[in-house]
Amino acid sequence: MANKLVIIDTDCGIDDAQAIMMALAAPDVQVLGITCCFGNASVENVCQNVLMVLSICERGKIPVFQGSAGPLVGANKELSDHFGSDGLGDVIEDKDPLWKEKIQREHAVDAMLRLVSENHKQVSLVALGPLTNLALAVRLDPLFPEKLKDLFIMGGNMEGKGNVTLCGEFNFVMDPESAYIVLEEFLCPTHLASWEYSCRNTLTWEFFEELTNQDTPAARFMKKITSKCWAYSKSAMMNKRDVYFGPGFVSYDSYAMAAFIDSSVVTQSIDCAVRVELQGTMCRGMMALDQTNQLKKSHRICVMNKCDLAKFSRLLMDSLKLPLNK
């Protein structure tokens, strides 16, 4: 079976870790490299988190690159504690003191440009955090998007419902300018898993228990990093999400990764132009869908809407069967 080549750009929190493991478990996926950016934690913590995931899965040969430490414009915003201060639930005590030696010397953006140029039109890019590295890549090489096979993004929103501001989703709010640049200038086929898409396609907490109770290194690792994280507390999240979407377990970044691995996971989508709002105090970072063609943009993106939960569940379950011989 021919390998699907992918670069994963991540701000590795718990759900990013799950998405990365999903890619590692897919039999027809070859991860060329993992590029790191700020977001769920500092970029230094993100690098350590990625190395930890790769170590658990016995895939330490995959290169990891350190990238953007802050947004394209303005000062760093306060980091979220959604997944703890370190991004992995603040439960890891024995962190690797030599982690810096395991990070590639090449900057993440340079690595992204090089890997895509070496594999013209063959590489998919899956972006799981703020889009700063991607925006810098297109500024350094305006032809970069043309060299990609396609782009998958977890981020943005469809209906003006925010999870960190009144109208904005976390990844886009952390760097609105970069989100704007990517959705305006990346004219390759683009697929987006929004916050609402993730929350509307939840899984049961009973499934989460079955998922993390598998007797494998990856499952034990996932159980540990979710053990004290309020975002994986059934009672806390039922109360928090009841307002819009009702209760359920959501692995946000895994939805974008699943769409890359198996396009049939997405059973319904909206194809339209989009634009990220950069002005205003309430709507900055919000993504607007142009379903009436008022923007007169030729480029459309695929905004995911409905998900085959049976297929998605299998991909999640398989992701924690790691390590696999590969």
Residues classed as catalytic: 11
User: In degrees to the nearest 10, what's the CA dihedral of 239, 241, 246, 250?
Assistant: -120
Pick from 22, 56, 30: which is nearest to 315 by CA?
A: 22
CA distance 225 to 214: 15
For the record, the structure tokens of 279 come out as 């002005």
The amino acid that residue 243 corresponds to is: V
Number of neighbours of residue 116 by Cβ within 10 angstroms: 25
132-140 vs 108-118: helix crossing angle, rounded to 10: 60
On the CB side of 243, how many CA atoms lie within 13 Å of its CA? 9
Q: How far apart are CA 279 and CA 284, in angstroms?
A: 5
The residue whose two tokens read 């994963």 is 8
Spatial CA neighbour of 43 closest among 17, 69, 18: 69
Q: Are 20 and 7 in contact (CB under 8 A)?
A: no
Q: For residue 157, give the DSSP letter.
A: -
H-state helical runs in the chain:
14-25, 43-56, 99-102, 108-118, 132-140, 144-147, 170-174, 176-185, 195-200, 205-212, 217-226, 234-241, 252-261, 309-319
Backbone angles phi, psi at 276, to 5 degrees: -95, 130
Measured from the Cβ of residue 2, the count of other Cβ atoms closer than 10 Å reads 7
